[in-house]
Amino acid sequence: MVELVLGGRTEAFEPLVTPYRRLLLTLAYRLCRNVEEAKEISQETLLRAFRYLGSFDRKRSFKNWLLQIEMNVWRSLGARAADEGTLRELAVENTAEDPEEKLAGNEVRERLLACLDGLSPREREVFLLRDIEGRNIKETAGVLRTSEISVRVHLSRARAKIRELVKERFPGLMEGQR
């Protein structure tokens, strides 16, 4: 399908990326915690994927390649704002006004966001890719363009923090899993 797109049949791009549309948007949302920002990140990811499709290595996983682009976009567009806490404020505002978000289930989302809030941007990236998206350590390192050792270090810290946060704020969440 990649060859078709590169051969000029651009309509083949849609079936190529449709299986990942939810994944990209949800991951972007978990990273930046704002629907509009997530759409922007996801959109930029798809545009870049289309633009640089020629440089995609066919031996690699297309999904991991898309995730890698999204992480780069998130770092260039959203990470700084998220660190400053502005997106979090925007998310709360938008949630109150946006009917789509209400439908998605604010309570569930807020609980997850509250857990992710306590992590640093790098810990959040590693935790989301490894524990939520199910990438293994090697794939996570490849997507984030870092070493496996670095992934292990951040993952270890992230899990320890998550345990403390859940235990402290949402003990019911742990009870439900035992």
Partner 1 sequence: MNCSGARKWIPLYAGADLSVRKNRRLEKHLEKCASCGREIEELRAALDGVRAVASRESIDWPEAEWRGLMARVKSKRPEARPVSPFGAIPRKAWAYGLAIVLVVGIAALILRSIFRPAAAPLLSEIMTATPAQPSRALKIDNAPSMNNPRDVPFRVQRYQAERLDLATLAAGPAPEKATQNLMSLTLVSQETGLKVHWTFNRNFEWKEKKP
Binding site for partner 1 (CB under 8 A): 5-6, 10-11, 13-14, 21-22, 25-26, 29-30, 35, 38-39, 42-43, 46-47, 50-55, 100, 104-105, 108-109, 111-112, 115, 130-132, 137, 152, 155-160, 162-163, 166-167, 170, 173-178
Beta carbon of residue 154, minimum distance to partner 1 (angstroms, whole number) = 11
- CA dist 177 and 156 (Å) reads 21
Q: Tell me which H or E stretch contains 68.
A: helix 62-73
Beta carbon of residue 52, minimum distance to partner 1 (angstroms, whole number) = 6
- CA dist 168 and 165 (Å) reads 5
Beta carbon of residue 22, minimum distance to partner 1 (angstroms, whole number) = 5
CB-nearer residue toward partner 1: 71 or 124 = 124
Token pair, residue 66, equals: 């898309």
Beta carbon of residue 27, minimum distance to partner 1 (angstroms, whole number) = 10
No. of H helices and E strands in the chain?
Answer: 13, 0
CB-nearer residue toward partner 1: 75 or 161 = 161
- CA dist 69 and 134 (Å) reads 18
CA angle, 161 then 134 then 65, to 5°: 115
